[in-house]
Amino acid sequence: MQEQEVIKILQEELKFTDQSIDKLKMLETELLKANGKHNFIAKSTESHIWLRHILDSAQLIKYINFNKGSLSDLGSGAGFPGLVLAIHNQNFNFHVKLYEKSPVKREFLDEMIGKLKLKATLFPNVFGGKIESNYIVSRAFKKLDKIIQVSREIAKKPHKLIILKGQNAQEEANKAFKSHKYSYKLEESMTDEKSKIIIADIGK
């Protein structure tokens, strides 16, 4: 899928504005520039950023109500999915929180938040504190059972957990939710037929 095809999906299906698309293009430019030095994403995916990273992150919008509250992205990395979701967010009353322990990646995220004028806040670590968010999202962070454990320990209130996972998603879910008794479902990925999106309601 080429860039223009992805942009069409972002605009027509996921309701990205023209201004948001411009910000995504800025993110792509800055990421490619930084990736030459820091290797934030695999070199093999540089020519497929719009599909492999942007759309893969943006598809989570379908499961998030941006009317109020906040969202926490655990292990934000180079900003996927957190920065993409923050770019889409048009509601002043909804806030995106990015959690990333790498100083180099945090520097990049902080720069992007400023340049793109996003309603987002950056934090150095998910551990040792408490998160108060309606949604906790993650992409390539940790194994599902560990993510559930972390979200239970750090979240102040019940929340929806939305996790992007690869071809072993069902296996991970079976194992994780056998010990953690929460309702969950698996949704199809828009970017990879072998991948899934795991959505769970985590109570206290």
Give domain status of residue 47, yes or no. no
Instruction: Please report, for residues 23, 149, 161, the alpha-carbon distance to residue 179 in angstroms, rounded to integers and kept in the order given.
Output: 41, 10, 16
Higher pLDDT, 183 or 6: 6
- Which of left, alpha, beta for 79 (phi over 0: left; psi -120 to 50: alpha)? left
pLDDT tens track for 48-100: 999 999 999 999 999 999 998 999 999 999 999 999 999 999 898 999 999 99
Position 158 pLDDT exceeds 90: no
**Buried/exposed code over 49-63 (b: 16+ C-beta within 10 A; e: otherwise):** bbbbbbbbbbbbbee
Confidence of residue 4 (pLDDT cuts 50, 70, 90): very high
Sorted by sequence, the CB contacts under 8 Å of residue 203 that are 6+ apart come out as 158, 182
What are residue 81's phi and psi, to 5 degrees?
Answer: -95, -10
Label residue 110 by pLDDT band (50, 70, 90): very high
Two structure tokens written together for 3: 């860039």
Task: Tokens for 60, please give them.
Answer: 């989570």
Instruction: Read off the pLDDT of each residue in 19-42 and give the average, rounded to a whole number.
Output: 96
Res. 182: pLDDT tops 90: no
Contact in structure between 160 and 134 (CB atoms under 8 Å): yes
Q: If you average pLDDT over residues 25-47, what whole number do you get?
A: 94
Report if residue 5 sits inside a domain. no
The CATH number covering residue 92 comes to: 3.40.50.150
The verdict on residue 33 lying in a domain is no
Quickly count: other Cβ atoms within 10 Å of residue 35's Cβ: 18
Is residue 177 situated within a structural domain?
yes
Examine residue 124 and state whether it is found in any structural domain, yes or no: yes
CB count within 10 Å of CB 96 equals: 28
Band (127; pLDDT cuts 50, 70, 90) = low
| In-domain check, residue 87 | yes
73: in domain = yes
- Residue 81 preceded by cis peptide, ω within 30: yes
| Residue 152 confidence (pLDDT) | 80
**102 part of a folded domain:** yes
Q: What pLDDT is attached to residue 132?
A: 84
**Residue 84 structural domain:** 60-202
pLDDT at 204 over 60: no
Number of domains comprising the chain = 1
The C-alpha angle 178, 195, 135, rounded to 5 degrees, equals 65
